Amino acid sequence: MKRTKTVRHNGVWQGHHWIRDDKRLAIYLRDGLACVYCQKTAEPADACVEHVHAFERGGSNHHSNLVTACQRCNARKGMLPLRRFARRIGGGDEIVARVARFTSRQLRPYRIEAKKLVARYGTAARALNAIA
């Protein structure tokens, strides 16, 4: 698949459908149910899974490249490299360290928990609503 903006925005990659529901929730759980950049609490209508190294720039969909972000931070970051974005929003090294701490964790235990929650509440959004 070509890594172009078009691919990302043609309806296949856009929105919440490019990642499995339980993986999405597992990322939220791993990151403490908050935006890794501004620390805003993850809410179903606002939270998203963000590529640290932009997908359009070759970043992967592996969990080590994915973090919880609020819509505002996701939009502001765009394709900026992490360090530049972290400096821009005034967090600098602290944000870079937080991202490294979360993305280096094994996702498996969070994925097991997320699967249980999705089974219980039906969707990741409903589960997040119930636990956040």
Name which of 7 and 96 has its Cβ closer to Zn ion. 96
Angle, to 10 degrees, between the axis of helix 124-131 and the axis of helix 21-30?
30
Using only the alpha carbons of the chain, give its radius of gyration. Answer: 14
CA–centroid distance for 81 within its chain: 15
Q: Which of 22, 80, 70 is nearest to 50 (CA)?
A: 70
**Shortest Å distance, C-beta 37 to Zn ion:** 5
Q: Does 35 bind Zn ion (CB under 5 A)?
A: yes
Name which of 7 and 38 has its Cβ closer to Zn ion. 38
CA–centroid distance for 121 within its chain: 20
Cα dihedral sign, 31-37-43-48: negative
- For residue 68, the cross-strand partners are 49
Among 13, 28, 37, 110, binds Zn ion (CB under 5 A): 37
Name which of 36 and 118 has its Cβ closer to Zn ion. 36
Q: Does 70 bind Zn ion (CB under 5 A)?
A: yes
**Shortest Å distance, C-beta 42 to Zn ion:** 9
Among 38, 80, 89, 131, binds Zn ion (CB under 5 A): 38
**Shortest Å distance, C-beta 6 to Zn ion:** 26
Q: Does 73 bind Zn ion (CB under 5 A)?
A: yes
User: Is residue 120 within a helix (H) or strand (E), and if so which, with residue range?
Assistant: helix 108-121
Residues that bind Zn ion (CB under 5 A): 35, 37-38, 40, 70, 73
